[in-house]
A and B are shown apart, each in its own frame.
Chain A
Amino acid sequence: MGERIETQVPGNIWKVLVKPGDAVKAGDTLFIMEVMKTEVPHDAGVDGTVSEVRIAEGEEGVEAGILAIVIT
């Protein structure tokens, strides 16, 4: 089934916790954004394999609604 995870908030990419090829389970945190001095974890909704990572740690001024990670 797979999943396309988009950024939920505008802000900075604080941490990216997965790389292409990683196996993930539903509920695993994939990356953490920072906005309003608050961490915003983005979790996988499904089990699968990370096939694309389109964001990088340290990116600033990232918009909300941008495709960040693809799980297949």
Chain B
Amino acid sequence: MIDVVVPGLETSVQDFPGRIGFWNQGFPPSGPFDSWSFRLANLLVGNPAGAAGLECQYVGPTLKFTQAAVIAVTGADMTATLDGTPVPLWQSVAVKADQVLKMGPAKSATRAYIAIAGGIDTVPWLGSRSTFHKAGVGGLAGSALKKGSQIPVAYATGTPGRSVKPQCRPAFSSTKQWQIEVVPGPDDDWIDAAGQARFLDSDWKLSGKSDRTGFRLDGPQWTFTSKAYDKLPENGSEPSNIIDHGYPLGAINLAGQTPIILVSDGPSMGGFINPYTVPSAAFWKLGQSRPGDVYRFKAVSVDEAQALRRALDALCSENSLA
């Protein structure tokens, strides 16, 4: 067991790729937002890349280990210490029984990941241990860690002192600017040529009203083609309204004039158009950005998006470790 002394802002059990196969019934995949950092943490401790670990958002937890373990902390720097001694990021570390791992606010970026050799051993729900707060399922009793929670671990041996090669780690923006890939569609034909050019040529600022359900963006006005106006009344009155339809994961969902990127815990359907879709290979950048950061979107084809995903999967492998 690991005892939760301080839960952190929102620390949750996640696994990768999460709860796959239930989107048609409204269940999103959940899972780690930055699956790159998450998978590397698991590999460092000798776990399968997708084993259940912890995602920490903005402020990390304080955890007491009731028995010896091998752990790795990756992602955002939350100044982790073990009984007061700094814990190196991107490295596997031995923890003795009764030691306390303490993490604070993220100095930069947003999400840190903790993997434990053997993985977290909560009861899976619909094939995954990932927490989906909105439905209160997965993880520890369907919610983020709470003070006094106990995290069950399927302890296994790991090797301390392994590290991720520097060139194989994600590079978090230090300039508050991020380039995010998008695939046009499914509803890009509702946006006129000027609107499409404006989307790709403008700065989009991440709003503080963003969470694991959606990322709200502030930017210029959208303009539409006749499809948005010459439609049957059951589509709805706003130009961005459409008869309820399924949403792709990563959809840039246009609610009136406000684009919201539907992310890991997002809705599977609704009545707004989705002019663009962020491919899964770019999710780690969303997961590590902060309110006020600025996105520039770059259009890529489906083939290019799939190549990016294959490249990311290749980086999340034993070859990235030293």
Which residues of chain A have a CB within 8 Å of any CB of chain B?
8-12, 34-38, 40, 60-61, 63-65
Contact = CB atoms under 8 A, between A and B. Distances in A.
A60 B208 contact: yes
Given A37-B211, A65-B105, 17 more contacts: A8-B9, A8-B58, A8-B105, A9-B9, A10-B58, A11-B208, A35-B208, A36-B9, A36-B57, A36-B208, A36-B212, A37-B209, A38-B10, A60-B208, A61-B291, A64-B106, A64-B290
- The interface residues of chain A, by DSSP majority, are classed as loop
Contacts of B58: 8-10, 35-36, 40, 64
A37 B211 CA distance: 7
27 contacts: A8-B58, A8-B59, A8-B104, A8-B105, A9-B9, A10-B208, A10-B290, A10-B291, A35-B9, A35-B58, A35-B291, A36-B10, A36-B57, A36-B58, A36-B212, A37-B209, A37-B210, A38-B211, A40-B9, A40-B58, A40-B59, A61-B292, A63-B292, A64-B105, A64-B106, A65-B105, A65-B107
Interface residues of B, number: 17
Nearest to A6: B105
Contact of A38 (B9, B106, B107): B9
Nearest to B213: A37
Contacts of A34: 208
A61 B208 contact: yes
Contacts of A10: 58, 208, 290-292
7 smallest CB-CB distances across A and B, nearest first, come from: A8-B105, A36-B211, A9-B58, A10-B290, A11-B208, A61-B292, A37-B211
Interface string B83-118: 000000000000000000000111100000000000
Contacts of B59: 8-9, 40
A60 to B, nearest CB: 7
Nearest to B211: A36
Nearest to A64: B105
Contacts of B211: 36-38
Interface in B250-298: 290-292
A36 B210 contact: yes
Nearest to A63: B292
Contacts of A11: 208, 291
Contacts of A12: 208
